[in-house]
């Protein structure tokens, strides 16, 4: 698949925003970890909203006809893309009411605003799940057609959110021990999950050139594609990366996405004074790693239409 930068930016950044919002609200509403004051909570929640909005604006970048984008709310009954759009929009009133509660009352929000925050958490998770399902529901790409995909989207968002949260706590000079534990656990779990995904997609399954042409008892070889230059199909689905480069990029995903941030946040928790700098570096490193991860997610997916253009299986 051709990787579109706007979609990569959208899924990584708004995923991080929903993760940061959910984690901040969970920690505050359930009184987990060191107590956060009003300004700390506001910084975290506003950062989350900025990330979500930036991502959603970017998501319209890949539309060929954006003037009809408003119509994407019309088919919640069947389309995961529609569901995602609607959930993302419904999230905002609840998220904003919780933000208002924090703005007015600080860390001790009244029950009503707390309830709004809880609903916001659920809607945030549902939105990221729907983003994952946009890809996981397609039977045409076996690399996407797995429950590991929405699980991966949720965990990636939570991990980035935890790292952002850690950096904000470090900025306010809070005790980082608890949040380092949370972010570290998230990093390890998400890394393992990504490893499982990469292992899973090695196996080829599903349609081959034989079922694609009905000749299931003979070898089938492409003689001629029937067109002299590129077409929409070859441009959109014909994208390929060499095997050596794939391996190198996967190493970068684990290096920048998981291992380096883990070292950096442990160092941040232990250091006196340099905590914020180290935590910011962890966020940047993880964003880079997850950007590469998302690029690979698209570049590695092989659409079955490639069978008709010479691939023997996908």
Partner 1 sequence: MRLGLVIDLDTCVGCHACAVACKQWNTSGTTGPLTDYRPYGADPSGVWFNRIRHYEVGEYPNSKTINFPMSCMHCEDADCVTVCPTGASYKRKEDGVVLIDQTKCMGCNYCSWACPYGARELDRESGTMKKCTLCIDRIYDETLAEIDRQPACVITCPAHARFFGDFDDQNSEVSRLVRERDGMQLMPELGYNPTNRYLPPRINTPIPTEDVRRDSLAGKVKEWVNKAVAR
Positions in the binding site for partner 1 (CB under 8 A): 1, 62-69, 71-75, 78-82, 85, 134, 137-141, 206-207, 211-215, 218-233, 236-237, 303-305, 308-309
Least distance (Å) from partner 1 to the CB of residue 85? 7
Nearer to partner 1, 85 or 158 (CB): 85
Cα-Cα-Cα-Cα dihedral of 80, 86, 89, 90, to 10°?
A: -120
In angstroms, rounded to a whole number, what is the distance separating the alpha carbons of residues 83 and 89?
10
Our CB check for partner 1 shows the closer of 219 and 272 to be 219
The residues near 167 (Cβ < 8 Å, ≥ 6 apart) are 276, 279, 280, 282, 283
Structure tokens at 132: 């994952």
- Among candidate residues 192, 169, 306, 196, the one with its CA nearest the CA of residue 259: 192
CA distance 7 to 170: 30
The conformation of residue 172, written as its DSSP 8-state character, comes to T
Measure the CA–CA gap between 124 and 116, rounded to whole angstroms.
12
Pick the closer one to partner 1 by CB: 64 or 243. Answer: 64
d(CA 124, CA 72): 19
In the complex, least distance from residue 192 CB atom to partner 1, rounded to whole angstroms: 28
What Rg, from alpha-carbon coordinates, does the chain have?
Answer: 22
Nearest distance from residue 214's CB to partner 1, in Å? 4
Residue 138, H or E segment: none
Of residues 72 and 271, the one with the C-beta less far from partner 1: 72
CB of 64 to partner 1, least distance (A): 3
**Residue 66 CA: distances (Å) to CA of 57, 58, 182, 191:** 11, 12, 39, 35
Instruction: Tell the residue number behind the tokens 């899973």, with chain if given.
Output: 200
| Distance of closest approach, residue 56 Cβ to partner 1, in angstroms | 14
Name, in order, each residue with C-beta under 8 angstroms of 46's C-beta and a sequence gap of 6 or more. Answer: 99
**Closest CB to partner 1 among residues 40, 84:** 84
Q: Which is nearer to partner 1, 202 or 218 (CB)?
A: 218
Is residue 101 within 8 Å of residue 118, measured between CB atoms?
Answer: no
Residue with Cβ nearer partner 1 (115 or 305): 305
């Amino acid at each position: 698949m051709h990787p579109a930068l706007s979609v990569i930016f959208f899924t990584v950044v708004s995923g991080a925003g929903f993760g940061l919002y959910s984690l901040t609200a969970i920690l505050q509403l359930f009184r987990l970890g060191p107590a956060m004051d009003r300004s700390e909570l506001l910084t975290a929640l506003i950062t989350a909203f900025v990330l979500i909005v930036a991502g959603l604006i970017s998501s319209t970048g890949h539309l060929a006809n954006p003037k009809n984008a408003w119509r994407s709310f019309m088919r919640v009954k069947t389309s995961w893309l529609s569901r995602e759009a609607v959930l993302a929009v419904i999230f905002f009133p609840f998220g904003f009411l919780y933000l208002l509660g924090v703005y007015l009352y600080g860390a001790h929000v009244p029950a009503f605003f707390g309830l709004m925050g809880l609903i916001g958490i659920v809607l945030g998770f549902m939105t990221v799940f729907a983003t994952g399902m946009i890809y996981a529901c397609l039977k045409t790409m076996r690399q996407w057609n797995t429950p590991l995909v929405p699980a991966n989207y949720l965990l990636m968002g939570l991990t980035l959110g935890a790292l952002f949260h850690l950096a904000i706590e470090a900025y306010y000079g809070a005790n980082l021990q608890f949040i380092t534990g949370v972010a570290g656990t998230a990093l390890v779990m998400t890394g393992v999950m990504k490893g499982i995904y990469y292992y899973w997609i090695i196996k080829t399954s599903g349609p081959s050139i034989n079922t694609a042409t009905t000749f299931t008892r003979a070898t089938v070889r492409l003689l001629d594609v029937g067109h002299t230059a590129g077409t929409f199909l070859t441009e959109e689905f014909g994208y390929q990366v060499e095997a050596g480069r794939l391996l190198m990029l996967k190493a970068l995903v684990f290096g920048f996405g998981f291992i380096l941030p883990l070292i950096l946040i442990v160092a941040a928790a232990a250091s006196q004074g340099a905590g914020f700098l180290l935590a910011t570096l962890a966020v940047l490193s993880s964003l880079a790693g997850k950007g590469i991860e998302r690029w690979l997610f698209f570049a590695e997916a092989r659409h079955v239409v490639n069978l008709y253009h010479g691939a023997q299986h996908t």
